[in-house]
């Protein structure tokens, strides 16, 4: 499986934007970039995914580098409820393979 590299932890102030980076230099042409997050004592939750173009949804934005070797999850205004572990995952676009989780980035949000 192609691997991703994320910082272990990040901190943000409430109401400010947060940019969570992910490196995936060995990404293949058929890999989608997925982001999930896990709040304390809960299962992971889907955030967003994309292939080449930047993506926006009600939760976040995903900015994908032109060479696809890195991406950034953007939370436009962090709230205390956004404190979680964020996982960046590559998955083949067949959709028939399991997600392979790394350790993710633990985001702390300060009031």
Partner 1 sequence: GAGVSQTPSNKVTEKGKYVELRCDPISGHTALYWYRQSLGQGPEFLIYFQGTGAADDSGLPNDRFFAVRPEGSVSTLKIQRTERGDSAVYLCASSPTGGFGANVLTFGAGSRLTVL
Tell whether residue 41 is a contact of partner 1 (CB under 8 A). yes
Spatial contact of 1 and 88, defined as CB atoms under 8 Å apart? no
Residue closer to partner 1 (CB basis): 48 or 75: 48
Residue closer to partner 1 (CB basis): 42 or 66: 42
Q: How far apart are the first and last CA of the chain?
A: 38
Binding piece for partner 1, criterion CB under 8 A, among 19-27, 42-50, 59-67, 68-76: 42-50
Rounded to an integer, what is the distance from CA 49 to the centroid of its chain? 8
Minimal distance, residue 43 CB to partner 1, in Å: 3
Spatial contact of 89 and 20, defined as CB atoms under 8 Å apart? no
* Sign of the Cα pseudo-torsion (100, 103, 105, 106, in order): positive
Using CB under 8 A, list all residues that contact partner 1.
Answer: 32, 34, 36, 41-46, 49, 85, 87, 91, 95-104
């Amino acid at each position: 499986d192609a691997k991703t590299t994320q910082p272990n932890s990040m901190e943000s102030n409430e109401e400010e934007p947060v940019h969570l980076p992910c490196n995936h230099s060995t990404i293949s042409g058929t890999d989608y970039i997925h982001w999930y997050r896990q709040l304390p004592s809960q299962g992971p939750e889907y955030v967003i995914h994309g292939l080449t173009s930047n993506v926006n949804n009600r939760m976040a934005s995903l900015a994908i580098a032109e060479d696809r070797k890195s991406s950034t999850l953007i939370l436009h205004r962090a709230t205390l409820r956004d404190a979680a572990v964020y996982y960046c995952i590559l998955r083949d676009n067949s959709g028939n393979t399991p997600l392979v989780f790394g350790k993710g980035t633990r985001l702390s949000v300060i009031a």
